[in-house]
Amino acid sequence: MPLPGISWFHAELKLLPESLGSKNAGSTVLCVQDLSTNHTGLRPPGGSVEQLTKDVLTPVQDGSLFVLPLKVKSTEMDPSKRMCFRIDFERQPHAAFPQPLSARRATSHPQPQAAEEGWTSSRVDVRVLATCNSGGTSLDFKMRPEMKFEKMMQAWCRHHNVTDGEASFRLGNRVLRPEDSPADCGWTPGRGALVVEAMPRPDVAEDSLAHDHDDHSPARAPSCAASFLKFGCGGEEEGSPDLIAYAEDTQAALLARVERERAAKLMRDALQGEAEESDHLSGPSPDSSMME
């Protein structure tokens, strides 16, 4: 209080629970504690002003009057200008109490975002799309703009049981590297989902399909890389006819190429067998050598 003789911590009011032995146990009581060097006065209703004992909690009755500072030097201030104020307990329901200053400030100056909203708004939505023989798949991630794609790629491969290195991830025509990040691709929070296409690496997929159709190789299950194909345009929905047709056309082209290579190999084997048989038939006969 900006008055002579009153310090910043002159006295303190505390609302404390009643002691367990009191008849009003469970309720609260207002107490005052003097912290000053020139004392605080308290006048109960119908009584006279009494000096409070320093650092001792004293109950305050409804209608009590505070006097501060109680002791003043005439050279510092006029004793008649002591500050006095009265304590009146509120009789209305608690809901009628004035709103606390902190609550009024929060209402007049609302925080831009809650903690959870702030966390979400600082992340980039990354959606990885792919198609496999059983249909389309979609897996969503939330990443910081500067976070590398490496962990996202590893998590996607583990989720789909694909060996690391067998999958390729593309953003449009750009092949994403593990050390790239959404920020490197120009993506920022609030721009919308960053749609990534997952597909098998061409060399891995072709080798896997060729091996799966080789009659001379032992039977084995198709590799994980051969079980999913490029999903198509990221802006289209999963399972749309265009995407399904695209996947079927891509798979048909790969299978046709493998069949052509297989037919060419069979033809080479057949020609080689005919040549060996012809050489065997054109050799010298045993009878002619005996006649000579």
Query: What average pLDDT does the chain have?
Result: 69
The pLDDT of residue 280: 64
Q: What are the φ and ψ backbone dihedral angles of 58, each rounded to 5 degrees?
A: -120, 125
Q: List pLDDT tens digits, range 96-148.
A: 445 555 555 555 555 554 444 444 567 888 888 886 655 677 888 888 889 99
Q: Is the pTM of this model over 0.85?
A: no
Percent of all residues in the chain with a pLDDT value above 90, rounded to a whole number: 3
State residue 70's pLDDT score: 73
Q: pLDDT tens digits for 73-89?
A: 665 656 666 777 788 88
Specify the pLDDT at position 286: 52
Average pLDDT over residues 164-190: 87
Please compute the mean of the pLDDT values over residues 178-200 and round it to a whole number: 86
- In this structure, the dihedral spanned by the alpha carbons of residues 225, 226, 228 and 234, taken in order and rounded to 10 degrees, is 80
Burial (Cβ within 10 Å: 0-12, 13-18, ≥19) of residue 44: middle
Q: Which pLDDT score is estimated for 4? A: 58
- Cα 81 to Cα 1, 174, 225, distances in angstroms: 14, 81, 90
Q: Is the pLDDT of residue 190 over 80?
A: no
The answer for residues whose C-beta is within 8 angstroms of residue 97's C-beta and 6 or more apart is 90
pLDDT of 208 > 60? The answer is no
Out of 35-44, 110-119, 252-261, least confident range: 110-119
From the CB of residue 49, how many other CB atoms can be counted at a distance below 10 Å? 14
Written as one letter, the residue type at 274 is E
Confidence at residue 166, expressed as pLDDT on a 0 to 100 scale: 83
Q: Which of 83, 60, 59 is nearest to 72 (CA)?
A: 83
Which tokens is 242 given?
């265009």
- Model confidence pLDDT, tens digit, residues 155-172: 888 888 888 778 889 888
Q: Is the confidence at residue 19, as pLDDT, over 60?
A: yes
CATH top-level class of 122-255: alpha beta
Helix (H, G, I), strand (E, B) or coil at 289: helix
* pLDDT range class, residue 267, cuts 50, 70, 90: confident
Q: State the CB neighbour count (10 A cutoff) for residue 176.
A: 21
Confidence category of residue 291, pLDDT binned at 50, 70, 90: very low
Comma-separated ranges of CATH 3.10.20.90 domains in the chain: 122-255
Mean pLDDT of 63-82: 71
Contact in structure between 66 and 11 (CB atoms under 8 Å): yes
Confidence of residue 91 (pLDDT cuts 50, 70, 90): low
Backbone angles phi, psi at 252, to 5 degrees: -65, -40
